[in-house]
Structure 1
Amino acid sequence: MRGMRDVASDQIEAASIRGARELTVDDVRDMALGASFLGSGGGGSPRAVLLQLEAAFAAGQRISLIDLAAVPDDALVAPCGWMGAPTVSDEKLPNGSEAARGLLRLEQVKHQRVYAVCPIEIGGSNGLSPLLLAAQRGLPVVDCDGMGRAFPESQMVIFNVHGCTANPAIVTDDKGNTFVFDAASNAEEERILRVMSIAMGGACHVIDYAGSGYQMKQHAVRGTVSLAISIGRALRLARRAGQDPFQALIDCLRNSSYYCYGGVLVDGKVVDLQRATTGGFAVGRCVLEAFESAERIVVEFQNENLIARRDDAVLASVPDILTFLDRETAEPVATEQLRYGQRLKLVGVSVPPILRSERALAVLGPRAFGIPEAYRPIESIQGWSHDRSLLHSPARA
């Protein structure tokens, strides 16, 4: 493109020499499983993206994963993902060109070629969608994301917590519409883009918070793509060997840098479920009745699972991760997949310290969702320590 600043192709090759990892089909399948877990019930189903990625591999396309340290400070990195209610995105398939069209427009607006892409959130389909864009454009994927999990609103991202702007936001849909949006604030971007997503059929692709390699190194949550792959691999290998997939999951998390506290909060059956698509979100509550005690655990969600309570006692809350998994296979179950009578385990996991700061909690803690209880770390509530087995029932609060 005339007048566009270009990052030389040999620079990308140099990043490849400095430890890039070429992903395999198994890596991507494992990542789909791991990202579903890290999504805390949200982020959208990865099924459609996974099918597209498998087709890309079959066509000979390649995807490289690079460490954030290998990205030049002045390179342009584009976080991307989808906005909308998961209940809609599970039924309304993309046409496959949305992300590539958005990336092209970002380059035109920024007058600079994009060096690499990364997930805006590692959860669900949004964890995988940058891989498809990378395959289409021949770009590397950076091993990081902007949330360390999934959150329902676009301003609930670590870049916003640290004062970065979402502008310009590039919005595309399956009908060929492309919008470049400069919001008065990051909160205004969420408010207006949520309405746009509804007008676009309930889901749209968004590239926002694009920044330099230096900015990403300062703010992004590192290593989350690799973690998602490791989680999926641990579950897959445990199933194959006839071992307990929940123990494999917990062991994998305990070996991670900062998701090291976690365990099963309840093992039970769905006895009540309320869910509605409201204002561009899947909102509701799910009630699990524990098999051993017949106690009932109520989980509230807004796309993602937000808080789990037993009576008036909080078992865990956002930003810590709460994910339902099939009690036999440990397959993550998203909020849009919940059904009456399902037999599930609810697993709670700690999140990186960067998401637990006072500044971060003001944006993505319980009270940002109108939940009255103050945040308490899950390991504090449950009395968990890092050097003990975490597969046990929740502590009495």
Structure 2
Amino acid sequence: MSWTLRADMVDDLARGAAVLGTGGGGDPYIGALLAKQALAAHGPVEVVTLDEIPADAQTLTVAMMGAPTVMVEKLPSLDEVTAPVTALGTFLGRPITHITCAEVGGVNSTIPVAAAAVLGLPLVDGDGMGRAFPELQMVLPTLYSVSASPLGFADEKGNAGVLNTTTSHWAERIARVACVEMGCSIMIAGFGMDGATAARALVPGSLRHSIEISAAITAARAAKTDPVAAAAAQLRGRVIATGKVVDVERGTTGGFARGQARIENSDGTTTLLFQNEHLIARREDAILTTTPDLIIVVDSESSEPITTEALRYGQRVSVLSAPSDPRWHQPEALSMVGPRYFGYDVDSCRFDGTPEPRELQ
């Protein structure tokens, strides 16, 4: 059943999405400000479930592409958010009817809210991942032969265009170069789908789930119970480490925030490896969990999510591991988002520590 997203719901959406963002997806605070600005100016947004999208609808995902570390200094505007949608609608020669989230993580859960509000379009309660991933083609619609191309893009200077590429991977490669040249963050719109395809290819209920995660954290704090445990329960996951951040290595290269963080406690050292999002968690030489399952860092007391660009020495954190959408564990999906794709010489390991068949090369 459809529901209405108001400005007073944005903070909960942003917090829950930051949890699901596995450390990436951009600063949720910035995205929340943008969404609130749009909702204040244009009114609330209608959110529709996957089964309510008309079969002949024209949906588009709207997102920020680039390094989350850049976004804290290079703030997007509402014009920048809507420009790629407008450019792509002109290119397609037909009206856009629905806005969707490419990923539910971080800022990319709230930028589509801003786009939907400004454009006066309904927003789909679903997304292309159920988490966040760093590259354009890393969405479930790819498994359904949906291409990112044609892809609209725009920056804060007013530059805008449309890429028409042979594959999503080529769209990623070309758009990433443009992204770096345009300041390492741009707004994009793509993965055009009709309603029937969107209903099959997207993860259902992502926005509602984000709000529920945040509500569970708030309720646990009010009841003076463990908000980290409450978040883990909502995620159907577990706590795999708790301790102090003792080292963070991070750099912005090739349009990505890459690095690692070490967390120490009396049981030893847990190391997190990330490329925008956390991809591998290991303790000493043992792999605890890997992409595509979720690795999430939160404050140990408040359960506030901490993005990879916000990790700092001295923070007391808990690391959660949770299952991804089961479609990510298909061999063709693992070849796209498994640890070996990112250059790590390890096999994929599920959130509960169990291995799975070696992913395709």
Interval containing the TM-score (normalised by the shorter chain): over 0.9
1:277 corresponds to 2:277: no
User: Of 178, 192, 201, which aligns to 1:210?
Assistant: 192
Question: Percent of aligned pairs with the same residue?
Answer: 38
**2:17 alignment partner, SS class:** helix
Give the distance between the partners of 1:251 and 1:373, measured in 2 at CA. 28
Is contact 1:62-1:138 (8 Å) kept?
A: no
- Which ranges in structure 1 are unaligned for 5 or more consecutive residues? 1-18, 254-259, 383-397
1:100 corresponds to 2:82: yes
**1:366 alignment partner, SS class:** coil
How far apart are residue 95 of structure 1 and its match? 2.0
Give the distance between the partners of 1:145 and 1:43, measured in 2 at CA. 13
Aligned counterpart, 1:133: 115
1:329 corresponds to 2:302: yes
Give the distance between the partners of 2:296 and 2:289, measured in 1 at CA. 11
How far apart are residue 346 of structure 1 and its match? 0.7
Is contact 2:232-2:239 (8 Å) kept?
A: no
Distance 1:58 1:218, change over 3 A: closer
Query: Cα deviations across residues 308-346 of structure 1 (Å, max 9, x unaligned)?
Result: 111221000001111111111100000000111111111
Is contact 2:228-2:318 (8 Å) kept?
A: no
Aligned counterpart, 1:49: 31
Aligned counterpart, 2:359: none
Give the distance between the partners of 2:233 and 2:248, measured in 1 at CA. 31
Map 1:1-397 to 2 at 5 A: 19-59=1-41, 61-253=43-235, 260=236, 262-290=237-265, 292-293=266-267, 295-381=268-354
Query: TM-score, normalised to structure 1's length?
Result: 0.87
Aligned counterpart, 1:12: none
Query: Cα deviations across residues 194-249 of structure 1 (Å, max 9, x unaligned)?
Result: 11111111100011111111111121111111111111111122223322111221
Distance 1:271 1:326, change over 3 A: same
Give the distance between the partners of 2:186 and 2:76, measured in 1 at CA. 9
Aligned counterpart, 1:391: none
The amino acid of 1:269's aligned partner reads K
The amino acid of 2:112's aligned partner reads P
How far apart are residue 24 of structure 1 and its match? 2.8
**1:325 alignment partner, SS class:** strand
Is contact 2:80-2:158 (8 Å) kept?
A: yes
Give the distance between the partners of 1:51 and 1:251, measured in 2 at CA. 28
Give the distance between the partners of 1:234 and 1:170, measured in 2 at CA. 37
Query: Cα deviations across residues 159-211 of structure 1 (Å, max 9, x unaligned)?
Result: 12332111110001101111110112211111111111111111000111111
Give the distance between the partners of 1:60 and 1:105, measured in 2 at CA. 21
Give the distance between the partners of 2:63 and 2:350, measured in 1 at CA. 28
Query: TM-score, normalised to structure 2's length?
Result: 0.95
Query: Cα deviations across residues 48-97 of structure 1 (Å, max 9, x unaligned)?
Result: 22112223343461111110111111110011101110100122101221
The amino acid of 2:349's aligned partner reads R
Is contact 2:130-2:324 (8 Å) kept?
A: yes
Give the distance between the partners of 1:60 and 1:143, measured in 2 at CA. 19
Give the distance between the partners of 1:59 and 1:152, measured in 2 at CA. 31
Aligned counterpart, 1:390: none
How far apart are residue 380 of structure 1 and its match? 4.5
Query: Cα deviations across residues 96-124 of structure 1 (Å, max 9, x unaligned)?
Result: 21121211122211121111101101000
50-59 vs 152-161, which moves further: 50-59
Please report the RMSD computed on the Cα atoms of aligned residues, expressed in angstroms. 1.4
Q: How many residue pairs end up in the alignment?
A: 355
Is contact 1:42-1:151 (8 Å) kept?
A: yes
Is contact 1:30-1:236 (8 Å) kept?
A: no
The amino acid of 1:333's aligned partner reads I
Is contact 1:308-1:316 (8 Å) kept?
A: yes
Give the distance between the partners of 1:324 and 1:252, measured in 2 at CA. 15
Is contact 1:161-1:363 (8 Å) kept?
A: no
Is contact 2:62-2:115 (8 Å) kept?
A: no
The amino acid of 1:328's aligned partner reads E
**1:130 alignment partner, SS class:** helix
